[in-house]
Structure 1
Amino acid sequence: MVRPMSVKLDADTRARLERLAESRRRTPHWMLREAIVQYVVREEKRETFRQDTLKAWEEYQATGLHVTADEADAWLQNLEEGNDIEPPECHV
């Protein structure tokens, strides 16, 4: 079910939105919906990344397993050169 929601914009922002919508041959309503959808998708990805980061940090704190930056850089360098090698082993 689609339900309306209002957004209050200052006059300058509203005018800019209307000019942009006109240049894109869209309605201001369409532009607002598109902007909100893109924002929500981006922020959901950002939140997923944040949660994954927190889980990785907690796992590191619990186990101490890691690879050094030099080990990761060497692995990435091999990948860039076209060598499909396994990632370095995690260690304490």
Structure 2
Amino acid sequence: MTTKTVSVKLDSILQERVKSLAKAHHRSAHWLMKEAISQYVEREEKRERVKQEAYSSWAEYQKTGLHVTFEEADEWLAALEKGKDTEAPECHQ
């Protein structure tokens, strides 16, 4: 994988905060910023996947009307929490 240099403009207060954290963690400011960006991108990609899955589920529900009630899902999850190996409830209209 190739790397490219990018620049980020930070105000002086934020720049000092980054330097202070980097020193406290015995890391460079560069490492800290790279790590922060990496974690942010990963978190936002996960959020986007969840959002797309929700849109897909909603579209499927609108098309078929199939669903599980809150009570059915809650009962199933409670059983799983108690260690019972139980099947997920069937979707219905």
**Equivalent residue runs for 1:15-34 within 5 Å:** 15-34=16-35
Q: Distance in 2 between matches of 1:61 and 1:91?
A: 13
Q: Distance in 2 between matches of 1:29 and 1:81?
A: 46
Q: CA deviation at 1:80?
A: 1.4
Q: Distance in 1 between matches of 2:59 and 2:35?
A: 36
Q: Distance in 2 between matches of 1:46 and 1:40?
A: 10
Q: Which residue of 2 aligns with 1:14?
A: 15
**Equivalent residue runs for 1:1-92 within 5 Å:** 1-92=2-93
Q: Secondary structure at the match of 1:8?
A: coil
| Identity percentage of aligned residues | 52
Q: TM-score, normalised by structure 2?
A: 0.96
Q: Which amino acid aligns with 1:29?
A: H
Runs of 5+ consecutive residues of structure 2 not aligned to the other structure: none
Runs of 5+ consecutive residues of structure 1 not aligned to the other structure: none
Number of aligned residues? 92
Q: Distance in 1 between matches of 2:78 and 2:4?
A: 51
